[in-house]
Chains A and B, each alone.
Chain A
Amino acid sequence: MHKLRVADINLLIDYKYDTMIKQAAFYKADFDKPDVTIDIPSENYDLWSKESPHLSMNDIEYIYTGAAFYEALLHFNGFMLHSSGVVKDGYAYLFSADPGTGKSTHTELWQKHFGKDKAVIINDDKPAIRLTDNRLWVYGTPWSGKTDKNVNIKVPLGAIVFLERSENNWIREIKPAEAIPLVMQQTIRPVEKDVMIMLLDMLDRVLSSTKLYKLGCNISEEAVEVSYNGIKVEE
């Protein structure tokens, strides 16, 4: 078993394949008592492997340890938003969309435009968001989808942006009511009632107190200017 600290949660977790070993390296920690233990029985792995024969055991371990972590996160005033998160000027901006839409491409353009030291990808696919000390924080985690872009830091949440492809670049602020179904599509939906209540109460807080936008964008530096100027937090 390995000891990790992810999103300020002490994790006792079992893994043995390359991707997890590599991704978890920056999250090693020491503690006496874990907050969460993730120890998935090998029978479960065998079953998932039969269900998805195209996936290697390495991939299956990466996917299902992540799923277990994000489910546990709901018990700690937190949730996962399927998004690429970029940190600029001390705030994390989350670009959320279905796979293949271009959220990673968009945050990559931020890095190209501002430089990799000024625009840091905190998590390219599944950042964790938590409410602690009465504030919303975005955390990097070892589970960052197809890329290894994640950083073990916590940063205040700046804005949530729902991204779609468009010929022209445009941005508009949206109300929480418009964002609710979009967020529900891009997170893990718990099956148990009490956990669903935790998720909805968390979303109540997040959507009432966070700037929310829809962005239509193409692949250009102009797309970065339109999105950055539209969403940046003014101090």
Chain B
Amino acid sequence: MKIKDGYLLREVAGSNIVVPIGEGAIDFSGVITLNEVGAFIWKSLEEDITEAELVDRILAEYDIDKETAQNDVKEYISSLRGAGLIAD
């Protein structure tokens, strides 16, 4: 799975924000703000990756246990999916 094309993640004045570019920009004029972990997950999902690989990357980057990482990833991906931002 990966993030759909047509979005740009950028740090602006200390916030990680996502804005649509290309054709999506015409329909959606909002801004998505991500926290640090959210931005890390988003960046990882810019290339095709499995859920297990994503958990491994988080474990390599952050000092948390596997179960927490798995739950966080599941929750995060389900909210991205709900927002229609994931392409399988």
On A, residues with C-beta under 8 Å from B are 176-177, 180-181, 184-185, 189-193, 196-197, 200-201, 203-204, 207-208
**Given A184-B31, A189-B25, A193-B21, CB of A176 within 8 Å of CB of B8:** no
CB-CB under 8 A from A191, the residues of chain B are 21-23, 25-26
Closest to A177 in B: B15
Query: Nearest Cβ in chain B — how far from A208, in angstroms?
Result: 4
A177-B33, A184-B29, A191-B26 in contact; A196/B19 too (CB < 8 A)?
yes
Interface of A is mostly: helix
Chain B residues in 8 Å Cβ range of A190 = 21, 25
Interface residues on B, range: 10 to 19
B12 at the interface (CB under 8 A from A): yes
Contacts of B33 in A (CB 8 A): 177, 180-181
| A190 CA to B26 CA, complexed, in Å | 10
Which residues of B are in contact with A by a Cβ distance under 8 Å? 8, 10-15, 17, 19, 21-23, 25-26, 29-31, 33
Interface-centre pick from B13, B23, B26, B29 (highest chain A CB count, 10 A): B13
Chain B residues in 8 Å Cβ range of A200:
8, 10, 12, 17, 19
Instruction: Give the residue name and chain of the A residue nearest to B6 (CB).
Output: A193
Q: A180-B33, A181-B30, A184-B29 are in contact. Are A192 and B21 (CB under 8 A)?
A: yes
Other than the given A176-B14, A191-B23, 14 more pairs (CB < 8 A) read A177-B13, A177-B15, A177-B33, A180-B12, A180-B31, A189-B19, A190-B21, A191-B25, A191-B26, A193-B8, A193-B22, A200-B10, A200-B12, A201-B10
Closest partner residue, chain B, to A209 (CB atom): B13
Across the interface, which residues of A come within 8 angstroms of B19, CB to CB? 184, 189, 196, 200
- Determine the distance from Cα of A103 to Cα of B25 in the docked complex, in whole angstroms: 27
Is A207 a contact partner of B12 (Cβ separation < 8 A)?
yes
Whether B14 pairs with A208 at a CB distance below 8 angstroms is yes
Q: Which of B8, B14, B23 contacts A177 (CB 8 A)?
A: B14
A208 surroundings in chain B (CB, below 8 A): 13-14
